[in-house]
Amino acid sequence: MTTTRSPKQPPRPSLPMIAATTATLPAVMLSSLAVAQPAAAETRPSAIPATLAAAIQAQTAAVKAGIIPAASVPATIPAGLQPARVTPAAHTVVRGDTVSGIAGRYGLSTSAVLKLNNLKSNSVIYPGQRLKLTGAATTAAKKAATVSPASTSSRTYTVKSGDTLGGIAARHGVKLSQVLSWNGLKLSSVIYPGQKIRIGSPVAAAPAAKPPATAAASPAATRSGSYVIKAGDTLSGIASRHGVRLADVLSANRLKLTSVIYPGHKLVIPGKTSAVQPASSVTPLVPSSFLGFTYPAAVVSSANKNKALLNASPVPSLAQMQSIVADTARRMGVDPALAQAFAYQESGFNQRAVSPANAIGTMQVIPSSGEWASDLVGRKLNLLDPYDNATAGVAIIRQLIRTSKNLDYAIAGYYQGQYSVSKYGMYSDTKNYVAAIKAHRKNFS
């Protein structure tokens, strides 16, 4: 019996067989398969139209043109764009102020402020004093003063702290040369608080010279005439006030034009019979010797000038000066008790103290040591100024401590001199000084 059967299917080759089969394909066949891959894989980017490229380049150039190079940018705001600086008409001096510091604060030159206030580079300024910074205030005062010129004929002005002759003249609408002439003063004359300054020609006061009969009734006044010098007096002013020549006053008192006179001293006022009077001997404010040592005349003369200036100037009280010394020491890194000990030993906190050696003020600093102290702190110090005087003394103390082998030698150096101490050792009086300073330091600690 025959049956129909379906043809037998050949078995499927395994994967290795496929690989073998593929490997046996001709190269032409493989290249045909490669061509059959999708065409998207080899799509080339289309070129940028020329107009678009030009536009991109133009935009890039514009951006670069809008950027300002760093080298072209100024480091500071141009003066025309800076806010306007407002300078007040005047500045009231506060503790620690200096003329140069005030000038810098308001964008002015130091010379301009000095000139505006008729000050010198070594003039002393004090807290509460008003310094002019512009001429606006004096212009108004000048207009007001010129409204009633007749009032200047017999007007007097009492000098206040901080006044200057130039400022007084401007305030009353007159020339400085006129004020000097009316009062027998010079540009170098020193004026003091409480002093009376005549505003107006003394000719208007001539009627006061009308009573010659009264003067004749007491001729002894001229024969034995004398005058006690007051603060602010000058020899020419005294001569003019008494109706005598300056040369006669100088001759009668054995003085020169350069001689210094002091408040409280008596001057002979020469009259017709003044030749019989002995010339007065002026007692100096500062003696010429101290502890058996006599100082050169030039040093003593300078000391007397400084003493006269300090006597006529407002200075801090003893308690205020003690506080100034302590504050200065703290600020400069020196033990306040030690600085106070020096100030107490040297002057008792008296800023008006001046020695025959011309040691000035609370810390008793001589001018040459003041120059050294100025170098130490990097600015010019005025020893007549209470704050600068304290700064000078504390600066010297600090430097002596830094450069001496111990504290005792530093203290001795302030009194005897550092070089002398290192070469000769401490003298007996120096040892007493060191002991006193150390005792005072304990009291102030």
Number of H helices, E strands in the chain: 20, 8
Rounded to 5 degrees, φ, ψ at 196 are -95, 130
Please name every residue paired with 192 in a beta bridge, in sequence order, or none if there are none. none
Sign of CA dihedral 393, 398, 403, 408: positive
The phi, psi pair for 222, rounded to 5°, reads -80, -35
Residues 400 and 414: beta-carbon distance below 8 Å: yes
Structure tokens belonging to residue 119: 């000050």
Q: What's the rounded Cα separation, in Å, for the pair 97 and 414? A: 28
Those residues with Cβ within 8 angstroms of residue 360's Cβ, 6 or more apart along the chain or in another chain? 306, 310, 353, 354, 366, 367, 370, 383, 384, 389
371 is catalytic: no
d(CA 388, CA 48): 81
CA Rg, the chain, in Å?
Answer: 46
Distances (CA, A) of 268 to 186, 238, 249, 272, 405: 22, 11, 7, 12, 57
Q: Residue with structure tokens 């401490």?
A: 426
DSSP result, 299-351 = HHHHHHHHHHHHHTS----HHHHHHHHHHHHHHTTS-HHHHHHHHHHHHSS-T
What SS3 class is residue 444? helix
- Of 159, 161, 181, 178, the closest CA to residue 169 belongs to 178
- Report the length, in residues, of the chain: 445
Cβ atoms of 179 and 197 closer than 8 Å? yes
**Active-site residue among 233, 346, 385, 388?**
346
Catalytic residue list: 346
